[in-house]
Amino acid sequence: DTLINQIAAGEVVERPASVVKELVENALDAGAKRIDIDLEDGGIRLIRIRDDGGGIAPEELPLAVSRHATSKIASIDDLEAVATLGFRGEALPSVASVSRFRLVSRRPDADHGAELRIEGGRHGEVVPQAHPPGTTVEVRDLFFNVPARRKFLRAERTELGHIEDWLRTLALARPDVEIRVSHNGKPSRRWKGEGNLLSEVRLHEALGEEFVRNALRVDHAGAGMRLHGWIAQPAYNRASADQQYLYVNGRSVRDRNVAHAVRQAYSDVLFHGRHPAYVLFLELDPRGVDVNVHPAKHEVRFRESRLVHDFVYRTLHAALADTRA
Ligand code: ADP
Ligand code: MG
């Protein structure tokens, strides 16, 4: 199975940032309210993620790292309406097949935890291990056994930058969760938990004061959907292709259909060709979105993409037109 997992790893795990993404998503799916991330060498040497979520029972540790074993969906019907960030059961086995991997976990009701180590896909035994309620996943020496992939890793700074970009994306979607990051033994970032609503504090930290000062707040429901968030007005003068955050049912995605609707509304009202900066959350019935499009889950497919396009376009067109009136 190791070879199959390594091949799957090629699709799920491109670099340290993709490992961080998958592990942090698992922590969130487990209900974590606080996530501690320790990195060394831009994550190439070490990624250690500890959460205070629901944990894994000792007898389930081997299952958690087996291929296509997911505790999150039980049937094909569940796949029609995925409510968790993960659902494919591929991340842990993939990561474990290309690293020195350690999983330690304790359920809140258990009196001790357990540990499972895997090196390059070879499983050890489950052994008792002290751990607070929650889970720690440790990934050392990413791609140590796949030199062809290791070669594509970039300098520490670059890999760290990708991790920070991803965490910023996540921090905007989950203001209720505290995230602490340390790099090479030094604290490097802390997102304080702030409750369920994205505050201007977090928005400011993520996109800067300029953005907050010029952003228009949007919140509109209709046609079974809701679009809320912020879009920058033309006074915000920054090349902003990197400041376009779109979340569909809480999941950060790239979607050309929605991106097009935003840009179209923007240029129709403001006669402005520039790419607007935005943080937008689109919510709709999960049965209206297919999230199982790509292993890395960066994309979604809308059942009724025309309807979604129109809704986003109309909502933003009206909001932006208001500011002109
Ligand atoms: P998926 O997230 O698609 O289910 P993963 O390979 O990422 O697949 O994880 C496999 C399983 O391991 C999950 O379904 C979950 O049951 C368990 N798991 C992984 N990480 C955690 C965590 N941090 N806390 C609790 N359970 C976890
Ligand atoms: Mg997962």
Collapsed DSSP state (helix, strand, coil) of residue 147 = helix
**Which residue from 5, 12, 29, 37 has its CB within 8 A of the most atoms of ligand 1, so it is best to mutate?**
29
Distance CA 16, CA 23 (A): 11
Residue to substitute in 50, 61, 92 for testing ligand 1 pocket (most ligand atoms within 8 angstroms of CB): 92
pLDDT score, position 242: 80
Which ligand 1 atom is nearest residue 103's CA?
20
CA 293 to centroid of chain Cα atoms: 16
| Cβ of 312 less than 6 Å from ligand 1 | no
Q: Which atom of ligand 1 is nearest to the CA of 22?
A: 7
CA of 21 to the centre of ligand 1 (A): 13
Q: Whole-model pTM?
A: 0.92
Q: Does 92 contact ligand 1 (Cβ within 6 A)?
A: yes
* Smallest CA separation from ligand 1 atom 20, residue: 26
Provide the phi-psi class of 250: left if phi over 0, else alpha when psi is between -120 and 50, else beta.
Answer: left
Full set of structural domains in the chain with CATH: 2-191 (3.30.565.10), 208-324 (3.30.230.10)
Q: Is 89 in the pocket of ligand 1 (CB under 6 A)?
A: yes
| Binding site membership of 181 for ligand 1 (Cβ less than 6 Å) | no
Nearest to 295 by CA among 120, 78, 67, 136: 67
Ligand 1 in reach of 116 Cβ (< 6 A)? no
- Assign 110 to helix, strand or coil: coil
pLDDT, averaged per 10 consecutive residues of the chain (325 residues), comes to 77 90 96 98 98 97 87 77 79 94 97 95 94 98 92 93 95 95 96 83 89 94 96 79 90 94 92 84 93 79 95 96 84
CB 56 near ligand 1, within 6 Å: yes
- Is the minimum distance from the CB of 160 to ligand 1 under 6 angstroms? no
Q: Which tokens in the block code for residue 126?
A: 């489950």
- Taking the centre of ligand 1 as the mean of its atom positions, its distance from the CA of residue 28, in whole angstroms, is 10
**Bridge partners, 231 (sequence order):** 216, 278
- Looking at this predicted complex, what is its ipTM? 0.99
Query: Atom 12 of ligand 1 has which residue's CA nearest to it?
Result: 64
Q: How many CB atoms lie within 10 A of CB 241?
A: 10
Among the atoms of ligand 1, which is closest to the Cα of residue 92? 6
Number of the ligand 1 atom closest to the C-alpha atom of 137: 23
Residue nearest to atom 17 of ligand 1 (CA): 64
